[in-house]
Amino acid sequence: MKSVTILGATGSVGTSTLDLIERDPARYDVLALTANCDVERLAAAARRVGARMAVVADPSCHDALADALAGSGIAVAAGPDAVCDAARMGADWTMAAIVGTAGLKPVLAALEGGKAVALANKESLVSAGDVMIDAAARHGATLLPVDSEHNAVFQCLEERNAASISRIILTASGGPFRERTLAEMQAITPEQAVAHPNWSMGAKISVDSATMMNKGLELIEAFHLFPVSVEQLEVIVHRQSVIHSMVEYVDGSVLAQLGSPDMRVPIAHALAWPQRMETPCQRLDLAAIGRLDFEAPDYARFPCLKLAREALAAGGARPAILNAANEVAVAAFLKGGIGFLEIAAIVADTLNRYDPPAPATLDQVLAIDAEARILAGERVKDCVA
């Protein structure tokens, strides 16, 4: 039996993880499920899998969760610290699927347990990559990348000898606006931006896919996860999302991982690792797909990708500022306050206005994140006014 905890159990990745666990419940002992405040969904999942504990990050949701789980024997807790405590319960395997900066402390808490951490939360590596990788090494934790691109690279890395790898090539679908001109992009609505052509995901990451900031964040994650330099990381637009990423070796061999675009494939890889497990995911029908297309990314139409690459190259606090400003801008866009193209403008402006020294601890990362949010928020107000 494997003990598991799911942080962010009510989201897109969390729900897919539960789907896999519920297909073979006898194999798993679910220690904790956490969510922000989706009490109904969290309580229902906790009952179904017989979790020992359910936690909401929002303290005002405590009583509703306690009511929903009354008589179940499932322990209830609330607040951000309670989420970290749940992450520290020592599960053999923890899915880190909280969205945004709220995921950082829980990820660090899980890594300190020294077990396997399946990492979906991108922001941990983007904002605090050095801190997280260092914590994993110090505590002997295994980071299992869940993002489909990094999971693909992980699967293709037959050897981690840096000298053998020549390039890592991340594939990008190009999002729903791959063929739009900049002028056409100005009028894009939140509804259009969250409708991804290939993947079903949470709202924030769907907007990031539409701006291609998602691919930029993934470049930064890849830099921390794998033994390559910034120059060895490339992006190729591949609209079918069949090849999830590739590793090129010095002898010219390129290994790719393919599969239908279903997050349950990389999640299952991380859940069963180092073995494999069955999934109900659709098998690839290559004859039906017929062809695979590739094109170079257009940095002029997707300035977020360029900003992310520059932040990665500059290092230090730049990726944390990029990420924080992007979260603020995307939230404002989703609320209808700013235009689609203003997302990149706000991120660029925040990076121009703020250049603190490199953070060495998670608290320093969070302080930089907080300041960048204030600056980005000021710029959002200017846009709305």
Residue 36 interacts with which of Mg ion, ligand NAD, none, CB < 5 to 8 Å by class: ligand NAD
Contact present, 235 and 294 (Cβ < 8 Å): no
Nearer to ligand NAD among residue 208 and residue 349 (C-beta): 208
Output 126 or 380, the one with its CB closest to ligand NAD: 126
Which of 37-45, 148-156, 177-185, 225-233 is the region at the interface with Mg ion (rule: CB under 5 A)? Answer: 148-156
**Residue 155, binding choice from Mg ion, ligand NAD, none, Cβ under 5 to 8 Å by partner class:** none
Nearer to ligand NAD, 95 or 317 (CB): 95
Q: Return the SS3 of 62.
A: helix
Task: Tell me which stretch binds Mg ion (CB under 5 A): 78-86, 145-153, 183-191, 240-248.
Answer: 145-153
Of 101 and 206, which has the nearer Cβ to Mg ion?
Answer: 206
Among 147, 221, 262, 342, binds Mg ion (CB under 5 A): 147
Interface residues toward ligand NAD, by CB under 6 A: 8-14, 35-36, 38, 57, 83, 97-99, 102, 120-123, 147, 199, 201-202, 205, 263
Q: How far is the CB of 148 from ligand NAD (least distance, A)?
A: 6
In the complex, residue closest to ligand NAD by CB: 11
112 lines the binding site for Mg ion (CB under 5 A):
no
Residue whose structure tokens are 């037959």: 158
Provide φ and ψ at 117, rounded to 5°: -120, 110
Which entry of ligand NAD, Mg ion, none binds 97, CB below 5 to 8 A by partner kind? Answer: ligand NAD
Q: How far is the CB of 12 from ligand NAD (least distance, A)?
A: 3
> Which residue is associated with the tokens 């990149």?
344
Q: How far is the CB of 56 from ligand NAD (least distance, A)?
A: 8
* Residue 122 interacts with, from Mg ion, ligand NAD, none (CB under 5-8 Å by kind): ligand NAD
Q: Which is nearer to ligand NAD, 152 or 157 (CB)?
A: 152
Q: Which is nearer to ligand NAD, 12 or 171 (CB)?
A: 12
Show the DSSP H helices in 259-361 as ranges: 264-272, 286-289, 303-314, 318-334, 342-353
SS3 for 202-252 is: CHHHHHHHHHCHHHHHHHHHHHHHCCCCHHHEEEEECCCCCEEEEEEECCC
**Residue 295 DSSP code:** B
Measured from the CB atom, the residue of 97 and 108 that comes closer to ligand NAD is 97
d(CA 172, CA 161): 26
Q: Strand runs (DSSP E) across the chain, as ranges? A: 2-7, 28-35, 53-56, 75-78, 93-96, 116-119, 142-145, 165-172, 233-237, 243-249, 254-258
> For residue 378, what are its two tokens?
């000021």
Q: How far is the CB of 70 from Mg ion (least distance, A)?
A: 39
- Counting residues that bind Mg ion (by CB under 5 A) gives 3
The residues, any chain, with a CB within 8 Å of residue 7's CB and separated by 6 or more, are 14, 34, 83, 86, 87, 94, 95, 96, 97, 98, 103, 106, 107, 110, 121
Site for Mg ion in 271-290 (CB under 5 A): none
Least Å distance, CB 354 to Mg ion, is 27
Q: Whose CA is closest to 185, among 346, 297, 301, 332?
A: 301
Nearer to Mg ion, 44 or 292 (CB): 292
Question: Choosing among ligand NAD, Mg ion, none, which partner's interface includes residue 35 (Cβ < 5 to 8 Å by kind)?
Answer: ligand NAD
Q: What residues have CB less than 8 Å from 132, skipping those under 6 apart?
A: 107, 108, 111, 124, 125, 143, 224
Query: Could you tell me which residues come within 8 angstroms of residue 64 by beta carbon, excluding any fewer than 6 positions away?
Result: 39
Q: In the complex, what is the shortest distance from the CB of residue 75 to ligand NAD, in angstroms, rounded to a whole number?
A: 17
Taking residues 149 to 178 in sequence order and writing x for each that binds Mg ion by CB under 5 A, - otherwise, the string is x-----------------------------
Closer of 201 and 348 to ligand NAD (Cβ): 201
What residues are paired with 34 via a beta bridge? 7, 55
Spatial distance between the Cα atoms of 279 and 98, rounded to a whole number of angstroms: 23
Binding site for Mg ion (CB under 5 A): 147-149
